[in-house]
Amino acid sequence: MEVSGRTGTGSVTSRALRVLEVFSAAEPVLTLTEISRLSQLPLTTAHRLVNELAEWGALERSPDGGYRIGLRLWEVAALAPRGLGLRETALPYLSDLARVTGENVQLAVREELSVVYVERLAGRGSVPVLTRVGGRFALTPTGVGRVLLAHAPAEVQESVLAQPPARYTERTECDAGRLRQALAEVRRTGVAVCERQVTMDSVSVAAPVHGTGAEVVAAVSVVAHVDAVEAHTLVPLVQVAASGISRSLGAPSPAPPARSRR
């Protein structure tokens, strides 16, 4: 993972952040030399910052002498209201949904132009997924991503659709026009169904979670074996879980449907 466009030295804070952002799920443990190279910082600067971050607890030494993200950083990050607070509120509903379906259950929020996964519960024998808690993913191929994007500001939608899309399978939708239609369908139906978009053996069904002002603050989904379940059978289950989380977050009750006049 190369950090591009970072040729200047920057402030002490920006350089410390550059050190932290070179760590990833693919490279969770790095040597001092690797940190220096990936952060584009001189070795002496990287050494000083790594020592300071390790002393505070943001980094820690691994048994092989490398460095990895420290527990202290996780403790601070867990205070984010869209992380721990949302997760704790949603967990009972996610657990019920996982127990009923036996499949992967996910809770996610939008961060700029990406999905960030707040929680994921894996069922026994559930289909493998590419996501992880705390990880980022593209918005358009995922059920939770389409829900969040469908309710994002117009400028966010256009920014996402203007980017070259990542193709994960031969079925991944990459056409901006058809994606706009899919987002409109999400707004109309209140649910997103993504089949074989990320892996060829999975289908994702997602629904929005609303906050106190009825705004969409998160999305919940079930990711199942595409050949083992009919997606439409998951829709009401996901919607019930999303509604329960919304109520617990203080979302206003939806208005009852208008009665027709006779």
Q: Which CATH number goes with the domain that contains 188? A: 3.30.450.40
The CATH number of residue 43's host domain is 1.10.10.10
Could you tell me the pLDDT band of residue 257, with boundaries at 50, 70 and 90? very low
In a domain? residue 104 = yes
Based on the fold, state whether residues 85 and 21 are members of the same structural domain.
no
Name residue 104's amino acid: N
**Structural contact between residues 146 and 220, judged by C-beta atoms closer than 8 angstroms:** no
In a domain? residue 68 = yes
Based on the fold, state whether residues 65 and 91 are members of the same structural domain.
no
In a domain? residue 7 = no
Could you tell me the pLDDT band of residue 127, with boundaries at 50, 70 and 90? confident
Distances (CA, A) of 174 to 49, 121, 168: 41, 28, 10
Based on the fold, state whether residues 130 and 177 are members of the same structural domain.
yes
DSSP state of 138: -
Looking at 76, 111, 131, which one is the last position of a domain?
76
Mean pLDDT, the chain, rounded, equals 88
Based on the fold, state whether residues 43 and 26 are members of the same structural domain.
yes
Based on the fold, state whether residues 86 and 55 are members of the same structural domain.
no
Write out pLDDT tens, residues 129-187: 888 888 889 999 999 999 999 999 999 999 999 998 889 999 999 999 999 999 999 99
Q: Is the pLDDT of residue 262 over 60?
A: no
Based on the fold, state whether residues 135 and 72 are members of the same structural domain.
no
Based on the fold, state whether residues 57 and 110 are members of the same structural domain.
no
Q: What is the pLDDT of residue 258?
A: 47
Kindly report the three-state secondary structure assignment for every residue of the chain.
CCCCCCCCCCCHHHHHHHHHHCCCCCCCCECHHHHHHHHCCCHHHHHHHHHHHHHHCCEEECCCCCEEECHHHHHHHCCCHHHHHHHHHHHHHHHHHHHHHCCEEEEEEEECCEEEEEEEECCCCCCCCCCCCCCEECCCCCHHHHHHHHCCCHHHHHHHHHCCCCCCCCCCCCCHHHHHHHHHHHHHHCCEEEECCCCCCEEEEEEEEECCCCCEEEEEEEEEECCCCCHHHHHHHHHHHHHHHHHHCCCCCCCCCCCCCC
In a domain? residue 259 = no
The model's pTM is 0.73
Of 30-39, 83-92, 195-204, 222-231, least confident by mean pLDDT is 83-92
Percent of the chain with pLDDT over 90: 67
In a domain? residue 19 = yes
Looking at 20, 44, 76, which one is the last position of a domain?
76
Based on the fold, state whether residues 144 and 209 are members of the same structural domain.
yes
Could you tell me the pLDDT band of residue 2, with boundaries at 50, 70 and 90? very low
In this predicted model, which residue has the larger pLDDT, 108 or 125?
Answer: 108
Average the pLDDT over 57-84 and give the result: 80
Based on the fold, state whether residues 131 and 218 are members of the same structural domain.
yes
Could you tell me the pLDDT band of residue 82, with boundaries at 50, 70 and 90? low
Q: Is the pLDDT of residue 76 over 50?
A: yes
- Domain span at residue 211 reads 81-248
Based on the fold, state whether residues 62 and 93 are members of the same structural domain.
no
Secondary structure of residue 69 in the 3-state scheme: strand
Average the pLDDT over 110-135 and give the result: 86
Looking at 28, 43, 76, which one is the last position of a domain?
76
Q: What is the pLDDT of residue 153?
A: 95
Q: Is the pLDDT of residue 255 over 70?
A: no
Q: What is the pLDDT of residue 33?
A: 94
In a domain? residue 148 = yes
Q: What is the pLDDT of residue 79?
A: 67
In a domain? residue 176 = yes
Q: What is the pLDDT of residue 1?
A: 38
Write out pLDDT tens, residues 31-62: 999 999 999 999 999 999 999 999 999 999 98
Write out pLDDT tens, residues 94-113: 999 999 999 999 999 999 99
Q: What is the pLDDT of residue 259?
A: 52
Average the pLDDT over 114-141 and give the result: 87
Based on the fold, state whether residues 69 and 165 are members of the same structural domain.
no
Based on the fold, state whether residues 64 and 35 are members of the same structural domain.
yes
Q: How many domains in the chain?
A: 2
In a domain? residue 48 = yes
Could you tell me the pLDDT band of residue 75, with boundaries at 50, 70 and 90? confident
